[in-house]
Structure 1
Amino acid sequence: MNIEQLDTPAAIVDIAKMQHNIDAMQVRMNALGVRFRPHVKTTKCLDVVRAQIAAGAQGITVSTLKEAEQFFATGITDVLYAVGMVPAKLPRAMALKQRGCDLKIIVDNVTAASAIVEFCKTANITFEVWLEIDTDGHRSGLSPDDDALLAIARVLRDGGIDVGGVMTHAGSSYELNDPEALAALAEQERAGCVRAAQRLRADGIACKTVSVGSTPTALAAKHLEGVTEVRAGVYVFFDLVMANVGACATSDIALSVLTSVIGHQPEKGWVIVDAGWMAMSRDRGTSKQARDYGYGLACALDGTPLEGCALIGANQEHGIIAVEHADDLARRFPLGMKLRILPNHACATGAQYPEYRALASDGSTLTWPRFHGW
């Protein structure tokens, strides 16, 4: 089906842009001498992940056990579940292991580590466990110099659990937009995670994997000495937050929302479209950045940004595009005209849809299923 024939709203993936993003990241990781384990939470789509693996990715990162189950069912076995493990989820994780999934899980506290040890003793099974390191104060994890790092590792080791590695995520990179600041944070991320691994090794724990990554730091790192693998996710589509950070240009953004003009408010200078927050998500990630894109960047059907237009408002099924020069709106934006909106946050916008419409260079589209839930 041609893009002009699609019902709206629809999530459009520009295949050529997506493939360019995949290839460029893989080339960079190869040049830095590290494995690349993409985070698949952005897309939750087998067609996309197959393209990442075909380009050279080794294993995947997931944020839900459902992602692990879905991708393992397609034959992808090397999986890192990069969210802190809680005891109630251990039986589900065990089921994956018993079916042959090489599932790695993470912890950042003694309570979780002790629960894993007790569960494995009872179930007569073992997991590979990684320790989550906090290298920027953004979210979860242990300081590289925290005494608890060794205490947790000893609980696992003494309980017969393989401490397979350390991992970190410099999520605060999303708050930056200066190349030197991004490079400095990438080095902070690298150095902190390597230091944590060195402390574990000095205590007799092999800690074979040192895993770092966010899209901005993966692109900004000067070198990755001591790191064995990188994880990044949103790079595959990019979005307006990443454009503001400086990780991409708006022309690199591979995900957009196809929408139709459904009305006009000439006295207000508004064009009304059928892409509200149910289509775009409520994510306003650009609101604290140098350029606020509202609920997304309005573009023509071919993806060219529309100058003087801003998606300033979003109700559940209505989007409001404010037009600077509002003369003759009905002629310039006729009823039924199709536009495309670039998203603030690709992960959040993609999550609104059960499928992507993958757009080829000739304007034809394919249907790529994605999945929801936990």
Structure 2
Amino acid sequence: MLRVDTPSLLLDIGKLTQNIKAMQAFSLQHHIALRPHIKTHKSVHIAKLQLKHGAVGITVAKLSEAEVMADAGIENIFIAYPISAPKKLKKLLDLTLQANITVAIDSIEQAKMINEFFQSSNQMVEVWIKVDSGLHRCGVTPGEEALSLAKFITSCSQLRLTGIFTHAGHSYAAKTTDELLLIGEQEAAAVVESALLCEQANIPILHRSVGSTPTYQISGAMAGITEVRPGNAAFFDMVQVGLGVATVEQCALTVLASVVSTKTNRVIVDSGSKTLTSERGAHGNESIKGFGYIKEHPDLTIERLSEEHGILTFSSPHTLQLNDTVEIIPNHACPVVNLFDSYFVHKNGEHIDTWPVDARGCNK
């Protein structure tokens, strides 16, 4: 066990590298591009490692994440989020002068605002249309609504439409393998059918992109898809394990916690909701038990959390004593990472480096 202060964020470099290689191998097998989402790790080190292994660029959720990555020299960035506020458009304009930036569009109103803003600078911006493949968050309805938006964008002097994308986040709530398969197929169909409709109207769609770690190996294998954007697949977590997408052994990210108190019917560790978050699974996942998985003591359950305390319960004898440490696989890695300043990177149990969470808190 690593001898670092707790709670700490641990990253197994061997597992991380294998997970990155697996994503790249899938994209090569299916002759498609890989553009991983960095909202999971928020790390320049990891983003550059993904690029080194063959990723064509990265995906970010927010402008502030894009700024961090562009400042680090990453040149190909897709912002998979609708941007329209004037302050954000000014930042977007600055970024387009620094790197190759693509931005999401999901309404005519938004497209009009971006086009009008960029007219004053005579600068072009590349855009992709987001279609709703079932999550019912952002995105236009696939088909005719996507075509109508594409036609409007092509009439805009400063916008260059090159892609259509979606995110099947509702896959996290899938209860069976068959349901997951169906969601992945629908994800691909929403993009491909919309793109074909546009091309029948002489609007070329070069990029046809899908995401979601649970489905990218389903939707990414479908004819017509050109790119996948998995994020969580760099680390995996207990949601992915519950979905059958990964095993506990593949999970590269853990939280190191210390026992601070032992009682007759419970054990308390120094990792509460400000460390593990109180999430039990994104978008309604029901496979989660407790608030994380304790690797060395799988029979223990993190039954409840307060801000600084994790309360563990048990139904059989345990050996934990005061100041013992445990490694916890988070339910959902992405928000947990955003709570830490740095990763303790380790190999075969030895601390080899410390990497900053460069885009921590970059939520604007």
With the length of structure 1 as denominator, give the TM-score of the two structures: 0.92
The offset of 1:222, in angstroms, is 7.5
Name the counterpart of 1:84.
82
Name the counterpart of 1:139.
137
| One-letter amino acid matched to 2:137 | R
Q: What does residue range 166-205 of structure 1 map to in structure 2 within 5 Å?
A: 166-205=164-203
Name the counterpart of 2:68.
70
* 2:341 aligned with 1:354: yes
1:313–1:50 CA distance, 2 compared to 1 (3 A): same
Please say if residues 129 and 165 of structure 2, whose CA atoms lie closer than 8 Å, have aligned partners that are also in contact. yes
- 2:299 aligns with one of 293, 308, 311: 308
CA distance in 2, matches of 1:368, 1:59: 21
* 2:323 aligned with 1:336: yes
* 2:156 aligned with 1:159: yes
1:287–1:214 CA distance, 2 compared to 1 (3 A): closer
CA distance in 1, matches of 2:168, 2:196: 19
Q: Pick which of 361-370 and 235-244 moved more.
A: 361-370
Unaligned regions of 5+ residues in structure 1, if any? Answer: 301-305
Name the counterpart of 2:96.
97
The offset of 1:288, in angstroms, is 5.2
| One-letter amino acid matched to 2:92 | A
CA distance in 2, matches of 1:68, 1:80: 8
- 1:324 aligns with one of 312, 315, 329: 315
1:288–1:325 CA distance, 2 compared to 1 (3 A): farther
Kindly report structure 1 stretches of 4+ aligned residues shifted beyond 4 Å.
Answer: 286-290
* 2:8 aligned with 1:13: no
Please say if residues 256 and 340 of structure 1, whose CA atoms lie closer than 8 Å, have aligned partners that are also in contact. yes
Identity across the alignment (%): 31
With the length of structure 2 as denominator, give the TM-score of the two structures: 0.94
The offset of 1:275, in angstroms, is 0.6
Deviation digits for residues 73-104 of structure 1, max 9, x if unmatched? 222111100001113211100001122x1100
Name the counterpart of 1:303.
none
The offset of 1:259, in angstroms, is 0.5
CA distance in 2, matches of 1:92, 1:274: 39
Please say if residues 239 and 346 of structure 1, whose CA atoms lie closer than 8 Å, have aligned partners that are also in contact. yes
Please say if residues 170 and 186 of structure 1, whose CA atoms lie closer than 8 Å, have aligned partners that are also in contact. yes
| One-letter amino acid matched to 1:95 | D
Aligned residues: 359
CA distance in 2, matches of 1:362, 1:236: 19
The offset of 1:49, in angstroms, is 1.3
The offset of 1:361, in angstroms, is 1.3
The offset of 1:168, in angstroms, is 0.5
CA distance in 2, matches of 1:146, 1:286: 30
Please say if residues 276 and 315 of structure 1, whose CA atoms lie closer than 8 Å, have aligned partners that are also in contact. yes
CA distance in 1, matches of 2:199, 2:84: 26
Deviation digits for residues 311-351 of structure 1, max 9, x if unmatched? 1111111111112124xx6xx21211011111000001111
Name the counterpart of 2:244.
246
Let me know the Cα RMSD of the aligned residues: 1.7
Unaligned regions of 5+ residues in structure 2, if any? Answer: none
| One-letter amino acid matched to 1:103 | I
- 1:223 aligns with one of 211, 217, 221: 221
1:287–1:309 CA distance, 2 compared to 1 (3 A): farther
Deviation digits for residues 81-136 of structure 1, max 9, x if unmatched? 0001113211100001122x110011111110111121121221110111101112
Q: Pick which of 220-229 and 13-22 moved more.
A: 220-229
1:244–1:109 CA distance, 2 compared to 1 (3 A): same
- 2:279 aligns with one of 278, 283, 289: 283
